[in-house]
A = this chain, B = another copy of it.
Amino acid sequence: MTKNIDVWSKLEDAIVRVDEDNFGDSMTNLMNRLFPICLSITGNGLRQALSILQENRDLQIQEVPTGYQALDWKVPREWNIRDAYIKDKTGERVIDFQKSNLHVVNYSIPFSGTMTLDELRPHLYTNPDQPDVIPCVNSYYEDRWGFCLSQNQLDGLSDGLYEVLVDSSLEEGSLSFADAIISGHSDREILFSTYMGSPSQANDNLSGIVLTAFLYDVLSECKLRYNYRFIFVPETIGALVYLSKYGDHFKDYMHAGYVVTCVGDDGPYTYKRSINGNSIVDKVAEHCLKYVGRDEDVKIIDFFPTGSDETQFCSPGFNLPVGSLMRSMYKTFPEFHTSLDNMDFVSSEGIANSLKAYLRVIQVHEMNRVYVNLSPNGEPHLSSRGLYPTIGAGKLLPEAVERIRYLLAYSDGHRDLVDIANVAGRPAWEFGPEIEALVKVGLLSANAC
């Protein structure tokens, strides 16, 4: 029993370590290493990033070949790129892939040729609303080549001939992804899924990738109640590949899951609910954000099917309890999918706080049970057990006694800890010491793991 009860303090320690060991800077350093890589949903950039993540971690990297049937989808050809540019008459690279991965439409087919600006225009992508930024564009599922540039760059191009090169390849190959598992006492598991795909995008989603890796680091040192699964997958197609392999396993064993994305900035927290809207993932995340984000304008939003990989996990055939805990949500901040989603947009403090928020969520999942009051007829006599002050005077009871009385009154075999914490208006993790004390004196039991 006690092995199940001490999860509270293990996570309490872990949360303290985030600040003590300065995980914020370490996470920023790792994002800085990953930022220059030209990530895509397949290819060597993806392999390189996964292998950096693997350096200090027991991460399993897998590959599935082009044409692999991932549920209703097929894994596309593998894309790699070496160079790309648009040169003007003087031979100057006016658009240069070497300066930014974003300059090439991701998954561009190889091309070389000379053409006028007007012939080139259909291949050029800008954001006219944000004339200074390079947009981030891809064309995974139709053969195309193209360049992305700022509207200002485009407006500065003069007529005349341009020499164009896209030195890429699109060939039979494979799609890479990785996972890692930490075993717990139970056969139920909690999933953290993060995605890769867009190159040089700090918040969406190097932040999610790096936070997930560090979550693994922290939890790998605790023996906890649940199994924890961490997956690093190319967006959409990678999640579908993973579901094609592990979807049935998830249906049997998943207790909760979160898509980890957009966790590096300093904006207020956003929690996007699972499709059912009242799963245990939602109950725990919403409870935690009441206290973790208490001075902020936390946003709790309902599921919608036009987000990220939660759409796959929550699709009607799987219907898994998967939500997403973010800071500023994708598509809602102006830096999203542009050259402005760079390392200036994220911060060590922001991602460290996000990591602590995730650890609170894990702590509450670990602590949450239907505890049972073993002396349920009337209140047990607390002072004879050293749990109550012997002098009755003031109006206020010590907070610990309040928590004990809430635990005893509501541990009726139906309400779980989060229910009780919600009734008491206090965070669930504050009840850790009192749960331990009550279990110790035999007034409370926990249901089976």
Q: Which residues of A contact B (CB under 8 A)?
A: 70-74, 105, 125, 135-142, 144, 236, 239-240, 243, 247, 275, 302-306, 311-312, 314-319, 331, 336-337, 373, 375-381, 383-384, 390-395, 397, 402, 405-406, 408-413, 423
Contact = CB atoms under 8 A, between A and B. Distances in A.
B317 A377 contact: yes
Contacts of A314: 409
Given A105-B391, A337-B395, 17 more contacts: A72-B375, A72-B381, A73-B378, A73-B381, A136-B393, A141-B383, A144-B391, A275-B410, A306-B397, A312-B378, A315-B373, A315-B409, A316-B411, A316-B412, A317-B378, A318-B378, A331-B395
A70 B381 CA distance: 10
**Smallest CB-CB A-B distances: 10 pairs:** A317-B376, A305-B409, A142-B390, A317-B377, A316-B412, A316-B376, A137-B393, A305-B405, A71-B378, A72-B380
Which of A141, A306, A316, A394 has its CB near the most chain B CB atoms (within 10 A)? Answer: A316
B379 A72 contact: yes
Contacts of A139: 390-392
Contact of A125 (B306, B379, B393, B412): B393
A409 B322 CA distance: 14
B72 A390 contact: no
A265 to B, nearest CB: 17
Nearest to A413: B316
A390 B315 contact: no
Given A141-B384, A392-B138, A402-B306, A315 B377 contact: yes
A381 B240 CA distance: 11
22 contacts: A74-B381, A138-B392, A141-B383, A141-B384, A240-B378, A275-B410, A305-B408, A305-B410, A306-B402, A306-B405, A311-B405, A311-B409, A314-B409, A315-B409, A316-B373, A316-B409, A316-B411, A317-B376, A317-B377, A331-B395, A336-B395, A337-B393
A116 to B, nearest CB: 22
Contacts of A402: 306
Contacts of A275: 409-410
A137 B392 contact: yes
A379 B315 contact: yes
Contacts of A73: 378, 381
A392 B140 contact: yes
Nearest to A241: B378
User: Most chain-B Cβ atoms within 10 A of its Cβ — which of A144, A247, A315, A380?
Assistant: A315
A384 to B, nearest CB: 7
Given A140-B392, A144-B391, A390-B141, A379 B413 contact: no
A148 to B, nearest CB: 8
Nearest to A412: B316
Nearest to A106: B392
Contacts of A318: 377-378
A142 B381 CA distance: 13
Contacts of A410: 275, 305, 316
Contact of A378 (B239, B337, B373): B239
A306 B382 CA distance: 13
A312 B379 contact: yes
A387 to B, nearest CB: 12
Contacts of A304: 406, 423
A142 B319 CA distance: 57
Interface centre among A70, A74, A136, A409 (most CB of B within 10 A): A409
A354 B236 CA distance: 46
Nearest to A311: B379
Contacts of A397: 306
Contacts of A413: 316
Contacts of A317: 373, 376-378
A305 B72 contact: no
A143 B372 CA distance: 32
Contacts of A312: 378-379
A39 to B, nearest CB: 15
A74 B337 CA distance: 69
Contacts of A135: 393-394
Contacts of A74: 381
A111 to B, nearest CB: 16
